[in-house]
Amino acid sequence: MAAVRKRMVTRERSKVGRSVGKNTELQLRLYIAGNAPNSLRAITNLKTICDEHFSSGFTLEIVDLLTHPERALADGIIVTPTLVKVLPLPVQRVIGSLHDANQVVMALASR
């Protein structure tokens, strides 16, 4: 998977084979605060988890709230890092550096 680009909002796609679930690709959004240690750990942990457990296809959007603070207000984010599973429904949130892979996988696999 490509490295995180130093942009305000980064989108990454990994589509190897079929989509996750029933015609719905896994769509994730990770809210971070610049290069804060927990934010960097969350990015690394999430990429590892997705590559191991969701390699069949996912979309990851990384939103830096230091650059786009209005997104925090609009999206109801009060702490970083926060991972949001946008699709498939139900929407799920995981807060923190995402070091507990089992907890993250359970949240992302829930339907």
Task: Give the residue-averaged pLDDT of 16-23.
Answer: 39
Q: Is the pTM of this model over 0.85?
A: no
Q: Return contacts of 70-78, CB within 8 angstroms, 24+ apart.
A: 71/31, 72/31, 75/29, 75/31, 77/31
Task: Give the residue-averaged pLDDT of 26-46.
Answer: 96
What pLDDT does 12 receive? 43
Q: Report how far residue 80's alpha carbon sits from residue 67's, in angstroms, rounded to the nearest whole number.
A: 13
Which band of pLDDT confidence, cut at 50, 70 and 90, is reported for residue 33?
very high
Lowest-confidence range among 32-36, 83-87, 95-99, 106-110?
106-110
Q: Report how far residue 55's alpha carbon sits from residue 108's, in angstroms, rounded to the nearest whole number.
A: 13
- CATH number for 9-109: choose from 2.60.40.10, 3.20.20.210, 3.40.50.720, 3.40.30.10: 3.40.30.10
Where in the chain are the domains? Answer: 9-109
- Phi/psi class of residue 98: alpha, beta or left (left: φ > 0; alpha: ψ in -120 to 50)? left
Name the amino acid, one letter, at 41: R
